[in-house]
Structures are given as C-alpha cells and as structure tokens.
Structure 1
C-alpha cells in the first residue's frame, strides 16, 4: 500500500525483493517503479558531517550543542531516514472556569504535580493502567506506575513513594475520576497539607502538561511497543520515563530538557 516516493526507498525495496523473494532485479525495479540505471548507479558516500547529523536529528538540541545547522537540512535528513514528523495539533486556549478567575500556575519545582491515567493492554488482551505524575514547572515525569488496576490507595502509595525523593507538592492537579475524588485521597491531602486543584468536568485542556505528556507517551511508546507482560511494561515504561527526562527538549522551556530546567533552577 502507498507509494515509495524517494529513489533511495525504492532502492531498498528492490534489494529486499531480490534478497528475500529471489526476484530478478528487472522485475523488482518494475514492481517498485525504480529505473534500472538509478538502481545500478552507486550510492554517493555521505560525508562525515551528514552521518553525525543523522545521529542527532533534533534541531533545537543541535543548536544548543553548538551546531550551526539550518532546520531545513535537518528536516531533509529526517525524511531520508524515513522518520515520521509529528502531526500538527490544534491548541485550545485554557479559559478560567469563573470568567476572570485566574487558574493555578506552577511557579517553582514541585509547586504543582499533575496526575492522570492512561490505558493500554498486553498481548493477551489484559488491561494495563498507567498512572502518570508530572511536575508542571520543570516538566519532569516523576513516576509512571503500571498495574492491572489502580485505586485511590494505589495513588496514595505512589505519591508517598515520590515524597521519599522529592519535597511535597503544594497542589495536585487532577480530573474528577473516581480514584481522585475518593475520600481516601482527599483525607490524605488534608492530613499532609497538600491542596487539590480539580479541573472542571470535560475540560482536559485545563490539565495541559500531563495531557501533553500523555499524547507523546501514546505516540512514542504505547503505539509502538508490544507489551508481553506486566513486568515488561513496568521495565520499558521506566526506561521511557528516564529518556524523556534526560533527552526530551521542550519548546516552552527554550529547548531544554526537563532535567536541565530543574538543574538550572537549583543553580540559580
């Protein structure tokens, strides 16, 4: 299905047809729409700088690392590698529920933690429930809890585990799911002095930071990985969380990674 638009991709398809299915080069070229002279022409060797760029394809990270490179060149190499560009998404402006009332915004690390659930399943069809916890100021993903189910007591256990590593948040931003409005969690927040910032029902755009993480987590992990078991899901999710914090740059933070934002704030 679809067309092989670039000569290089058609070249690779001809090689696969020849090696895997023992198809002659003439017939493989005819099937893929590749001219035989193009197929026989030797591939020009890529220069060293191009090879380095192919290993580091994020434009903002290249600029921060001192590369003087145009974004069009990075885009061209991205296409040559067959990588998919992220689809543009329409952004909805968040509006305060009370008209002119200002929404709570994080002003420093661990001021507001955003929490939300995502669902997937293992290869045997059993449900996986992911609890994602994000620090809104630095965009650091603090935890991805993976389980078959997650109740209010499990949410509390996850937060208490995080409090062994981080200072307690001033507020928890959540939706009105049954796990979040349960008496157990509300009593815990009251006892620990942590406030709750519930978003209005049917307004996911008012929890934008964790929703942004959820979208990327879905595109870059859940839609790609085939999870055979719960233990595998836990291991791979933790690896993704670390990579996200260390390597993922954010345009809203001037192309810095979440870990860099946190480290620079502490240094300042």
Structure 2
C-alpha cells in the first residue's frame, strides 16, 4: 500500500511510512532471494513433471543429495506448497492391516539378494516379463532382464552374469514361483553354495524390499511409457537402472541414491 501511495499519489516516502506505521527501512527493503526462489520453483516443477510419483521428501533429497543444493528444507517446502504441488495426489483411504514382522536388515553388501518378476505388455498387446534382482543392503538394483518367456535357464544366466562382477551372496530371497522351485535352479544354487530363502505363500511382505522396488519401477517408468519392442524395453530398463542407483534418492539410505550411500 505504501508503495502504491508514493507512486500514484505523489506522497513523500516519509509521510507514507508514517501513515501506514512502517519504518523507512522496511519500505526500502528488497528481497535478495527472489532469483533463488525462482530457480527452486523451476526445479520443483521440472522434477514433479518428470517424476510424477515423487513427493516433497524425494524432491528435496534429490536437490540436496544428488544435485548438491544446500537450501533449507523449510524454504523449499514453502515454495513447494505455494506451487500447490502438495495437492497433486489425493490421499487414499487405507485399510487397517496387521503389521508384518520386520525383515532382518543386512549389515553389508552381498549378504542377501532379492528376486521377483513383473509383467506388462507392448503396444501390440504382446505380454512381456521383467526379472528384477536387488541387493537388500542398500537397495541397489543389480539387474533387470526383459523377455517374453523367462524360464529358470534365463534366471540362472542372469545370476551367472552378476557373479562375474559381484561377490557371491549368502542367500537369495524369492517367492515360490515355478522358475525358483525348479530342480535346475535348486541344483544350481546348491552347486554355487548359495542358500535359497523362500517366503511363505501368500505373504509378499516377507519379500518387501523387492516388492517396494517393483512398485518404484512400475510407477517410475513401466506404466509411464508404451514400448513397441522388447529391445526398447531392455534399453530403457538399463538406463533407468543407472538412474535408480546413481541419482534417485532412497529413504532407506537417508535420502541418498544406493551407490552414494555410505
């Protein structure tokens, strides 16, 4: 109001400040953070457009830990709310369920690898599968193998390729799918000296790490894109796996990507 009065009514600054009970210092103050606030807003908008499944926590950890910006979280959250980005997703009503027993946390890499399959389809309707493997310690993604038919032989081949550059895990955690209970796979694990930890049927929470990883992949890229061929799926999966390990913040790692976590 004081600014409008001085500009339009040709009143002196002193008289305007006296009339509106403000100091001349307050009147002459100009924000020094407007440019930075604009930059924060642009980064937040770009992030939420690209990563539609990210909330404020993921966005802030990405800016802080991956990109190295040291802005205060309260300031970033204020701009996040001013942009109404906190209203993008309507919260769903959740059912009350019994709390599952917590999984035992690995204390170092290559203690337990978790494995599971995902399903989707190409533009022409052909269904394909994704075989996912992660290291439970830092939730590091180890492999994503795409195929129309992923039998136990393909599973063994993927694991053999991983063992060429990774230490042998103590155990493999998986469900009771036919690929994992086949005699060929069981014989391979026994020959390698690797224990197979099967979860109880109907209890996917016992394989919670890979289930959460599957959900991240599902909302991060699988459900976002339509692919014409299996080769396109594999190429995109390889690129996304690098992004997941090197740049995507993970709450289990204190907001840092798996390969940046100590």
Name the TM-score, length of structure 1 as normaliser. 0.71
1:175 is matched with which residue? 175
Cα pair 1:63 1:69 within 8 Å, conserved: no
Cα pair 1:112 1:172 within 8 Å, conserved: yes
1:55 is matched with which residue? 43
Cα pair 1:122 1:228 within 8 Å, conserved: yes
* Bigger mean CA offset, 167-176 vs 53-62: 53-62
1:93 is matched with which residue? 99
Residues 251 and 167 from structure 1, CA distance in 2 versus in 1: closer, same or farther, beyond 3 angstroms?
same
Q: SS in structure 2 opposite 1:224?
A: coil
Structure 2 counterparts to residues 175-254 of structure 1, below 5 A: 175-254=175-254
Cα pair 1:129 1:148 within 8 Å, conserved: yes
Name which one, 1 or 2, has greater alpha-carbon Rg: 2
Cα pair 1:176 1:198 within 8 Å, conserved: yes
Gap regions ≥5 residues in structure 1: 1-45, 97-102
For residues 11-51 of structure 1, the C-alpha deviation after alignment (integer angstroms, 9 at most, x for no partner) is: xxxxxxxxxxxxxxxxxxxxxxxxxxxxxxxxxxx943134
Separation of aligned partners in 2, 1:115 and 1:86:
32
Residues 52 and 164 from structure 1, CA distance in 2 versus in 1: closer, same or farther, beyond 3 angstroms?
farther
Separation of aligned partners in 1, 2:255 and 2:90:
16
2:72 is matched with which residue? 68
Separation of aligned partners in 2, 1:216 and 1:199:
21
Q: SS in structure 2 opposite 1:145?
A: strand
1:160 is matched with which residue? 160
Cα pair 1:133 1:141 within 8 Å, conserved: yes
Q: SS in structure 1 opposite 2:177?
A: coil
Name the TM-score, length of structure 2 as normaliser. 0.73
RMSD: 2.5
Residues 63 and 85 from structure 1, CA distance in 2 versus in 1: closer, same or farther, beyond 3 angstroms?
farther
